A and B are shown apart, each in its own frame.
Chain A
Amino acid sequence: MGSAWELDRFLSDVERRAFRQAAFAVRDDQAALDIVQDAMLKLAEKYADQPAEEWPLLFQRIMQNTIRDYYRRQKVRNFWVGALSILTPGRDDDDDEDPLEHVQSTTGHDDPVNILATGKNFTLIQDAIEKLPARQREAFLLRYWEEMDITETAAAMGCSEGSVKTHCSRAVRALAAMLQDKGIRDE
């Protein structure tokens, strides 16, 4: 059974990677921080009395579920926003304004200061990882960044070991192709 002190050590070890992982998935730093906080609280509330060696897998499962919950909430919100915007009077369909011009990046990876601080390679890798399909990204990050083996990754993702191998292989090939286009070659 893990103690509060062990939990602190475990969370400080995983929190930065968990934040990046959530940010890759939701592309919003604030939402990613909320997701990590929710996952930490759920782990502390429900699984703090479990053996400490079970925490990495449990935490990853909680993270994946919390990210999925976020997608669901976004979907519902987008539906209602869309429905209400149709009913809102005074909108001009011939409006030539591009809504994307008003969207501000919340991840900040196109900010020049951030690019200088983190290095161009990371920015390109981050872009490529964000473009991966969700399951491939999940498998790639769990397998290689969290250093889980195939069995653990399969358990965390709730799929078969064969699927994990396929997702990982496809993810690496897709990343290689995307990064090669940007000038980062496999040496």
Chain B
Amino acid sequence: MNEERYARRLIADLDDSLKTLQPEVLQRLEASRERACELAGRHESQRFRGAGSLTLADWVRHHRSSVAGTMLVLVLALATVVWEYAGPGNDDDTAAVDASLLAGELPVNAYLDAHLNKWANAN
């Protein structure tokens, strides 16, 4: 007996039987398929929603050293600016010169003098 040929013959009969499935069975299969596709569609849309944040996270992961370097430079620049403008030394110098001006120890146009800084530091 040729097993392959015999099996194919039986399968042809089985295939024919699929055309005569009862309508309620077909309806139930269709409903199950629709539910499955709906579920897959929900998962697909969730994946797309999460895609933006994943891309950003991936970019940060791949450029970790550059991101760290940039952050360090920014922090140092910020610290320098803060030190320049809010540092304690500048306030003291200006306050001492202002006090001397008010006390009449310095002329009114002292700020115009190129040697004022040297004098203030020496005092």
Contact = CB atoms under 8 A, between A and B. Distances in A.
Interface stretch (A43-51, A67-75, A76-84): A43-51
Secondary structure at the B interface, as helix, strand, loop or mixed, is helix
B68 interface: no
Interface string A151-187: 0000000000000000011001101100100000010
Contacts, number: 106
Secondary structure at the A interface, as helix, strand, loop or mixed, is helix
B17 A20 contact: yes
Contacts of B26: 16
B41 interface: yes
A144 B11 contact: yes
Nearest to A33: B28
Given A7-B37, A11-B37, A117-B20, A172 B13 contact: no
Interface of A: 3-5, 7-8, 11-12, 15-17, 19-20, 29, 33, 36-37, 40-41, 43-45, 48-49, 108, 117-119, 121-122, 125-126, 140, 143-145, 168-169, 172-173, 175-176, 179, 186
